[in-house]
Amino acid sequence: MTISIPIPKGFQLAGVHCRLKSNATQPDLALVMSEVPAVAAGVYTKNLVCAAPVELDRQRTPSDRIRAVVINAGNANACTGRQGEDDARKMASLAAAVCGAAEDEALVMSTGIIGHFLPMEKIEQGITAAAVKLGSRPTDLESAARAIMTTDLVPKIAGRTLEIGGKTIQITGIAKGSGMIGPNMATMLGVVLTDALLTPRMAQSLLVEAADASFNCISVEGHMSTNDTVLLLANGEAGGDVPADDDWSRFRDAFGEVCVELARAIADDGEGATHLITIDVTGCVDRDSARKIAKTVAESALVKTAIAGADPNWGRIVSAAGYAGVAFDPAAVSLKVNGFVLFEVGAPAEFDAEEVSNSIRANRDTHVELAFAEGTAAARFWTCDLTVDYVHINADYHT
């Protein structure tokens, strides 16, 4: 995998192996440093059982003085009580120290097994080692992206470059996620960096809006994690003013595209997945209704296994929409899969089942379109199919 996405000005990253994972070659700790204080915003899991790093970061964002983010894989530091809270603060303090920052100018993220205490000696050694390797090359970006992976098969990296006020602005993000994916949010970690100048209020509003259309619109099996966190850091090192009017609109669109790309990559890398499924719901009273239907279809085990078997079983999709808790006229519903009409205005359509099956089997991407007649609102959701490999991965994950 060759990474050519630039790192925004004023940021450095590194990924190292500090023996948090049994694989001796895979990095498992990442460090992100801003050379100047950066504006930081965050969105987090809505699970009442949340990890110590989530609690710490919630207290520190939004902010205009964050210098470092340290991320470890292999251990979630979740359900670890007072010691877990102390360890999260210690991690932040260690990361801040190696970056020349005050101890409260760092944020922390963790992912991995729940209920295990962090091996803090290894963490400290890893942070020290990562500080030495900090850099701004694409290889440093990839190393950091790989360091936050758990059951992921591939690193998730996305970026956009745009011109604003005569300045070149870069937006670059990394994320992890493959299983325990179910908003809000998925079991995922993400960091999106930009060298644009933003205020804390702008950054927080931007991140919430983008997450709602991306990270909160993916599911693998509907299980909400304890550790979900996405951070936005903006350090203003590209120069220029805070984006406004048309410039702000273009920046917001580019930022949203980065988040969507990362979110789709997570769904596409779902544990054991052989298909990425995009679900488009249209014709609803409001977006919440459309999103609720799309999410319900996405999390149906019967729908997901049908796609895994290349079975154009439209009854599973339509019936899933029916128990989503949204009122609609069943006689006005239509359904397409990969462009083939399977169900039209409340009745079965004539189609070649073998042709539709072949279209699913021959392509990793499957497109499900559900149309209603209640309004004009729409929503898009991403999921993956459910295979035997998913069961094997999760049956063997801890034991």
Query: Is there a cis peptide before residue 338, judged by omega within 30 degrees of 0?
Result: no
The tokens for 173 are 């993000």
Give the residue from 24, 7, 8 showing the smallest Cα distance to 16.
24
Gap between the Cα atoms of 271 and 153, Å rounded: 9
DSSP 372-394: -SS-SEEEEEEEE---HHHHHHH
Residue 93: what are its φ and ψ, rounded to 5°?
-65, -40
Amino acid letter, 187? T
Gap between the Cα atoms of 155 and 145, Å rounded: 6
Amino acid letter, 284? C
- Alpha-helix runs per DSSP H in the chain: 52-60, 81-98, 120-133, 138-147, 200-212, 245-268, 287-298, 301-308, 314-322, 353-361, 388-395
Report angle CA 70, 73, 78 to the nearest 5 degrees.
90
Give the catalytic positions in this structure: 187
Give the residue from 115, 21, 23 showing the smallest Cα distance to 73.
21
